[in-house]
Structure 1
Amino acid sequence: MNEEFFRHIFKKQQEADAVPSNKEISRWALELIRLLYPEQSKRTLSSLEELKNEFNKLEIELYKMMEATKACIHCDNAKLARDFFEQVPEIYRLLNTDIKAIFDGDPAAKSEFEVIRAYPGFYAISFYRLAHSLYKLGIPLLPRIFTEYAHSKTGIDIHPAAQIDEYFHIDHGTGIVIGETCKIGKNVKMYQGVTLGALSVHKSMADTKRHPTIGDRVVVYSGATILGGETIIGNDSTIGGNVWITKSIPAGSYVYNTAEVKISSDNKSGK
């Protein structure tokens, strides 16, 4: 190995040292979520001024993370950080609708406190809502780190570019995949193992709509696979478990498998 190779690797290591780790970046998002929902931690603040100072500190940290990760080389990152925090009240409103959707839609939920503290669906949605707001501001890397962190904790994979309306309910959630160009309407409920994916993953399709559109008040049961950018699930539809859909479904539809299950009382194996 020649000297030029070592210099190249050493330069990359120096540049990497200036960038916060994914764990540090994700901690920032978690701190913001915990400020909005102190139910997630024991931490309490003593005054309104202390709360404002915490938000100001997080804004400064966001600016520093954007600078370090070269989030937008030709942008005013300080302004982008301010713009993001201007959106925080709307993020909070959306998250409150998600909490209500989960609590109202799950008979096992005993309180909204339980949803906030214990539900992986709300955890993943929280990181997604923050990530999506940053993504809309043109910041590419941080949103992906946020949603991948939530993915590692919950098994729920939501691309930060996906468009998800209010009152979103993820029940159980493990194994859910929501692709980059998905559009999901209001009051949608989704169970574990659902894939909203693309029919093709060819790189040439990067700038096209590759993932489905889910209408309002749709329920998608576990194991369902819905593929394709032109696939639209109409409002008020129910998608049964383990179905495979690549074409649009009209509003008010009920889609289900017709596999026959036989039960016999004659157990010849003797077990």
Structure 2
Amino acid sequence: MDLRNWINKSLPNVIDSLEDSLNKNYGANTTEELNLATRSAVYDVLDELLATLFPGLQTYRPIPKNEMNLFIGDRLRSATLKLGKQVEQAIKYRCAQERCDDCDCEKSALETTIYVISSLPDLHKTLVSDVQAAYDGDPAAKSVDEIIMSYPCVEAIATYRIAHLLYEKSVAIIPRIMTERAHSRTGIDIHPGAQIGPGFFIDHGTGVVIGETAVIGKNVRLYQGVTLGALSFPKDKDGKLIKNLRRHPKIEDNVIIYSEATILGNITVGANSVIGGNVFVSNDVPPNSKIYNRQPSPLNDGGLGI
């Protein structure tokens, strides 16, 4: 039997079996059920928003200064219309999941979309403080333009800040699609539910994880491999995880956390503290603390070279 014969004779059975499994379980985005924007559609909106926040630096071509208003206007009009439709679909999905009968999904979508787009000027000011923190905190940085165009933390933090606006309004799925793209592209995993103040800098970035209920104050700096995670997951009487509880650390203002440090649980790291590399922390840290592992001692091998 050649491949063409197999396709004609046997492939229909595979197709029917796969369709049956999808209908009985999950894994398909159908117009009758999920009816959500695809990942590529969400990425398209995200790219347009990033382009308006850093015109000519994050995406698209360099912009003539006398065309700036036109460029921003075109991108925002397009992004606003697309986002409005996606948000409405996501809100309808959430209402169906929660079996809500009296929600005005169209009104909620309109209010949410206006809130997100109207927040962009303030969001940009916060991003400026993030970029400045990167420039001030990295001796290798030659200019803020270099940081915006090349540092992975800028894409990850900017994406997080956009997604967080949607998360605040309980928009389903879209915020995670946004931040998980940044995660896959930069290695920086920031949950859109985290609360992060201005002047935030992640140096190098690879392997950083910031959980959903983490709270980070102003002027905080993290290095690669830092985890702000949960220590344990409480369960109900049926053994299912209890969600929506605070389970991640609070990092107060002006804290520095060096590479591969792991900070777990509903604890507080006090302001102006320094957490050294490879430290494991699961208890509160008072303000103005320095937490380091003991320095390794030189090995005295008696000159044997062992």
TM-score (norm 1): 0.89
Aligned counterparts, 1:96-111, within 5 A: 96-111=128-143
Give, as a single letter, the amino acid of the residue that structure 1 aligns with 2:69: L
Q: Corresponding residue for 1:51? A: 72
Q: Is the 8 A contact 1:224 1:239 kept in 2?
A: yes
Give, as a single letter, the amino acid of the residue that structure 2 aligns with 1:62: L
Q: Distance in 1 between matches of 2:260 and 2:183?
A: 18
Identity %: 40
- CA drift at 1:145: 0.7
How many pairs align?
A: 267
Give, as a single letter, the amino acid of the residue that structure 2 aligns with 1:172: H
Equivalent position SS for 2:87? helix
Q: Is the 8 A contact 2:50 2:59 kept in 1?
A: no
Q: Distance in 1 between matches of 2:82 and 2:151?
A: 28
Aligned counterparts, 1:85-164, within 5 A: 85-164=117-196
Give, as a single letter, the amino acid of the residue that structure 1 aligns with 2:287: A
Cα 1:71–1:82 change in 2 (3 A) is farther
- CA drift at 1:31: 1.8
Equivalent position SS for 1:115? helix
Equivalent position SS for 2:37? coil
Q: Is the 8 A contact 1:216 1:235 kept in 2?
A: yes
> Would you say 1:252 and 2:288 are equivalent positions?
yes
Q: Distance in 2 between matches of 1:6 and 1:103?
A: 52
Q: Distance in 2 between matches of 1:133 and 1:55?
A: 16
Q: Corresponding residue for 1:67? A: 88
Gaps of 5+ in 2: 1-15, 96-102, 235-239
Q: Is the 8 A contact 2:219 2:253 kept in 1?
A: yes
Aligned counterpart for 1:14 among listed residues 7, 30, 46: 30
Equivalent position SS for 1:93? helix
Q: Is the 8 A contact 2:50 2:158 kept in 1?
A: yes
Larger Cα Rg: Structure 1 or Structure 2? Answer: 2
Gaps of 5+ in 1: none
Cα 1:13–1:155 change in 2 (3 A) is closer
Q: Corresponding residue for 2:218? A: 186
- CA drift at 1:66: 1.8
TM-score (norm 2): 0.80
Aligned counterpart for 2:50 among listed residues 33, 36, 44: 33
